[in-house]
Amino acid sequence: MKIIKLIPFILIIIGTVGLLFLEFLSGSKGDFSRILVLTFAVFNLLGLVILALARKNQ
């Protein structure tokens, strides 16, 4: 049960670290970078939605 409570935070951390990595360490601007940015943004969004739903159901 604890792992289910950790999933939203893990998704938010992965998304945030990924976006920061792309912003500060990656200098390439291309289609692959856009795909990565969208992927990390989706991780953040999913984490927030799952967290909101979990808090609503308590």
Which pLDDT belongs to residue 1?
Answer: 66
Which pLDDT belongs to residue 15?
Answer: 94
- Token pair in block for residue 1: 């049960």
Predicted confidence (pLDDT) per residue in 42-51, tens digit: 999 999 999 9
Which pLDDT belongs to residue 31?
Answer: 75
Contact 42, 19 (CB under 8 A): no
Q: Which of 22-31, 32-41, 42-51 has the highest mean pLDDT?
A: 42-51
d(CA 3, CA 8): 10
Q: Is the confidence at residue 9, as pLDDT, over 70?
A: yes
| Per-domain boundaries in the chain | 2-56
Backbone angles phi, psi at 49, to 5 degrees: -65, -45
Closest among 49, 30, 8 to 22, alpha carbons compared = 30
